[in-house]
Structure 1
């Protein structure tokens, strides 16, 4: 079974979120996009999946 990709998404008042595809509530929040990208990069490397970085508009 292939791994589930990691997404860095805007999270409104909570800053930025690192979320695993297909999971409910399995997100971690960070105050800045840079911190979220750093954490997401490590997680994606460990899981051997892709990191998808979204902009402020969620795209």
Structure 2
């Protein structure tokens, strides 16, 4: 199974879109890139984790972030 991804890309009409690869529609939209990244993190957390691919204003990938599952049935044990 492929890793779930969401790309944060600039919308030519303003703001930032959250899109899944090969999707017909966007997953979300925000006025700022930071808000779009937060929303992408929330979406992926609810979908068992994945990867946020962050594009800069020029469209090139500038960063990525791995999101852990939101409700991990087997979370790592706390080591003390």
What TM-score bracket applies, with the shorter chain setting the length? 0.7 to 0.9
Superposition RMSD on alpha carbons, in Å? 1.5
User: Which consecutive residues of structure 1, in runs of 5 or more, have no partner in the other structure?
Assistant: none
Does the aligned pair in 1 maintain the 2:10–2:57 contact within 8 Å? yes
Deviation per residue, 1:16-52 (Å, 9 max, x gap)? 0001111112342111111001001111222221110
Tell which has more relative contact order, 1 or 2 (C-alpha 8 A, sep 6+): 1
Higher radius of gyration, 1 or 2: 2
**Number of equivalences:** 59
Report the TM-score, using the length of structure 1 for normalisation: 0.82
Which one has a larger percent helix, Structure 1 or Structure 2? 1
- Give 1:13 deviation, angstroms: 1.9
User: Which consecutive residues of structure 2, in runs of 5 or more, have no partner in the other structure?
Assistant: 61-80
Q: Where in structure 1 do 4 or more consecutive aligned residues deviate above 3 Å?
A: none
